[in-house]
């Protein structure tokens, strides 16, 4: 990075606090712009509209520059938020972007996708007085602005090439973050991806109305310019194992960042009926052009009149909003077994879904799909639930109400009840240990060592289960540093043993 903010920190300390603080607390919070709810159903473009620089600078000026910056503690990447916002407030947009990029590989993407109300913004002290600083929107703004108007993603300095080769499995958030950290430190990096294009979840999981794919393409091109190589349509598993990469293809280390991409099933009657989709298939076919998809997963989903989406997380919201865009004249229902208060996803996405006309059946669980004589789904039988005592995680357990069954007509259904880790890789790699849930066991998220120490590292959703972009990225960065340390130690060890090898002269003396 070619930027430091020592000077700025000095200016921050000179700030006339008491007066400034009162003024800052009285400032009007940002009013983000969005596409009109009706208009947005006619396109798949991002719903949030870009801020103007003066709006972002004004919003950044609401930050109180708290000494103990609780916002940073609330951010899984530990971004130095006050420092970045101070730079932004001074009009140094590139400096602010670089500050976020010091601790994050995807500040523009996290700014769009993080559930900020539970993270950085949820910890912002201004939240006790009114709306917290819109940290996510500002993070997104300064990196977008730098990319679009100030010469693209800034190029980092690269370490001298070490001659070491690392294979990265998966090109989602964990894989890309690890690849970036490794290539910057002088390692040759090859990323293996099972889908036809790199990007993993960022391309094949998140719809364009939440994340403009151009950001991902720009990031991939930037990584290629740094030297990262991508091998798509290559599935690491029984046919090409991590051991093959190490032994036959001479990689020095393997990083597993293949995520959690297997869609969970409900295991209820009728799930095999036509036009009952899993979330991944529905989202990729509904959102992506055929050329980005493998054969056998192409073409738009069934043009529905009434779609039922089962689930309450961000993926369920992506599905209901995709369904509304695929046919704006159709009815779309979200069916969730707990109440709205327990929904695990991002508040902004729920608000967007409501604005877009999605209807909700809370405290409702599908128990059966029914079909016609041609095998097409025609309805979903549901049962009402009530909330019982909290489970081990503190969430209240839904309990069925006997005799409350009812039928919801539908001609398309989508199961969006979460993802699990595909166990193919673990099963084809002797010595790798996994949990009961199929996630890969590592020594700690600070190191990412698997049971195959010094050969195979892992981080992200394949270790912690399906989670957020930022929670996949942060440990992947640490695992990459751990790989770097191990490979450097290995190189140093080789140098040392070379220098200890007896010279021809000393050999002759010995003899």
The residues that touch ligand SF4, with contacts defined as CB under 6 A, are 63-66, 69-71, 75, 77, 79, 81-82, 104, 110-111, 114, 116, 119-120, 124-126, 133, 135-136, 139, 470
Q: Where does 311-363 show beta strands of DSSP type E?
A: 331-335, 359-361
At closest approach, how far in Å is the CB of 5 from ligand SF4? 15
CB of 131 to ligand SF4, least distance (A): 11
Q: Burial level of 507, CB count in 10 A (0-12/13-18/19+)?
A: exposed
From 287, 312, 307, select the one nearest 298 (Cα to Cα): 287
Residue closer to ligand SF4, measured from CB, 112 or 188: 112
Core vs surface per residue 263-280: b (16+ CB within 10 A) or e: bbebeeebbebebbbbbb
The answer to whether 167 and 254 are in contact (CB under 8 A) is yes
- Smallest separation (angstroms) from ligand SF4 to the CB of 133: 4
Please, what is the minimum distance in Å from the beta carbon of residue 342 to ligand SF4? 21
Whichever of 120 and 410 has its CB closer to ligand SF4, that residue is: 120
Query: Residue 120 or residue 266: which is nearer to ligand SF4 going by CB?
Result: 120
- Whole-angstrom CA distances from 195 to 75, 170, 172, 359 are 30, 9, 11, 33
| Closer to ligand SF4 by Cβ: residue 178 or 385 | 178
Answer yes or no: are the C-beta atoms of 277 and 307 closer than 8 Å.
no
**Shorter beta-carbon distance to ligand SF4: residue 139 or 484:** 139
Pairing of strands 188-192, 229-231: parallel
Sheet strands side by side (includes 276-278): 276-278, 412-415, 306-310, 331-335, 359-361
* Least Cβ distance, residue 101 to ligand SF4 (angstroms): 11
Least Å distance between CB 124 and ligand SF4?
3
Closer by beta carbon to ligand SF4, 153 or else 282 = 153
- In the complex, the smallest distance separating the C-beta of residue 280 from ligand SF4, rounded to whole angstroms, is 24
Q: What is the CA radius of gyration of the chain?
A: 25
Contacts of 386 (CB under 8 A, 6+ apart): 363, 398, 399, 401
* Smallest separation, CB 64 to ligand SF4 (Å): 4
Phi, psi of 27 (to 5 degrees): -65, 150
Give the nearer residue to ligand SF4 in terms of CB position, either 271 or 445: 445
What is the C-alpha end-to-end distance of the chain, expressed in Å?
Answer: 55
To ligand SF4, the closest distance from the beta carbon of 126 in angstroms equals: 5
Closest CB to ligand SF4 among 127 and 357?
127
Residue 294, CA distances (Å) to 289, 446, 481 in order = 11, 35, 34
Looking at the Cβ atoms of 88 and 326, the one nearer to ligand SF4 is 88
Q: In sequence order, which residues have a C-beta less than 8 Å from that of residue 8 and are 6 or more positions away?
A: 83, 86, 87, 90, 92, 95
């Amino acid at each position: 990075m070619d930027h430091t903010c020592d000077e700025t920190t000095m200016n921050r300390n000179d700030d006339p606090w008491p007066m400034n603080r009162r003024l800052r607390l009285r400032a009007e919070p940002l009013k983000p712009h969005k596409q009109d709810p009706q208009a947005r159903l006619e396109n798949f473009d991002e719903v949030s509209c870009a801020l103007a620089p003066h709006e972002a600078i004004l919003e950044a000026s609401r930050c109180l520059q708290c000494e103990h910056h609780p916002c940073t503690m609330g951010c899984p990447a530990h971004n130095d938020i006050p420092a970045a916002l101070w730079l932004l407030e001074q009009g140094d947009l590139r400096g602010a972007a670089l500050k976020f990029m010091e601790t994050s590989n995807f500040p523009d993407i996290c700014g769009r996708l993080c559930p900020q109300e539970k993270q950085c913004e949820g910890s912002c002290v201004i939240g006790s007085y009114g709306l917290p600083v819109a940290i996510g929107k500002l993070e997104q703004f300064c990196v977008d602005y730098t990319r679009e108007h100030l010469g693209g993603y800034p190029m980092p300095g690269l370490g001298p090439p070490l001659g070491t080769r690392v294979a990265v499995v998966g090109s989602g958030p964990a894989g890309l973050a690890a690849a970036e950290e490794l290539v910057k430190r002088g390692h040759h990096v090859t990323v293996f991806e099972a889908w036809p294009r790199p990007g993993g979840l960022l391309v094949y999981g998140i719809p364009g109305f939440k994340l403009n794919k151009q950001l991902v393409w720009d990031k991939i091109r930037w990584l290629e310019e740094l030297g990262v190589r991508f091998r798509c349509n290559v599935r690491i598993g029984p046919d090409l194992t991590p051991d093959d990469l190490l032994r036959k293809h001479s990689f020095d280390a393997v990083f597993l960042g293949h995520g959690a991409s297997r869609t969970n099933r409900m295991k209820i009657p009728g799930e095999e009926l036509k036009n009952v989709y899993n979330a991944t298939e529905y989202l990729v076919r509904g959102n992506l052009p055929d050329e980005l998809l493998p054969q056998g997963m192409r073409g738009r989903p069934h043009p529905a009149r009434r779609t039922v989406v089962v689930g309450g997380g961000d993926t369920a919201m992506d599905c209901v909003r995709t369904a509304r865009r695929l046919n704006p004249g159709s009815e779309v229902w979200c069916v969730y077994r707990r109440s709205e208060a327990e929904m695990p996803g991002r508040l902004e996405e729920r608000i967007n879904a409501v604005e877009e006309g999605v209807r909700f059946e809370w405290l409702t669980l599908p128990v059966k799909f029914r079909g016609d004589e041609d095998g097409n789904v025609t309805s979903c039988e549901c049962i009402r639930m009530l909330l019982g005592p909290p489970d081990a995680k503190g969430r209240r357990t839904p309990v069925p109400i006997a005799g409350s069954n009812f039928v919801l007509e539908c001609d398309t259904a989508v199961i969006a009840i979460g993802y699990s880790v595909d166990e193919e890789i673990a099963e084809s790699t002797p010595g790798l240990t996994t949990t009961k849930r199929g996630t890969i066991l590592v020594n700690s998220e600070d190191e990412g060592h698997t049971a195959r120490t010094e050969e195979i590292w892992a981080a992200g959703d394949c270790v912690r289960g399906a989670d957020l972009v930022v929670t996949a990225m942060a440990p992947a960065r640490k695992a990459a540093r751990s790989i770097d340390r191990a490979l450097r130690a290995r190189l140093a060890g080789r140098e040392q043993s070379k220098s200890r090898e007896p010279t021809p002269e000393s050999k002759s003396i010995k003899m």
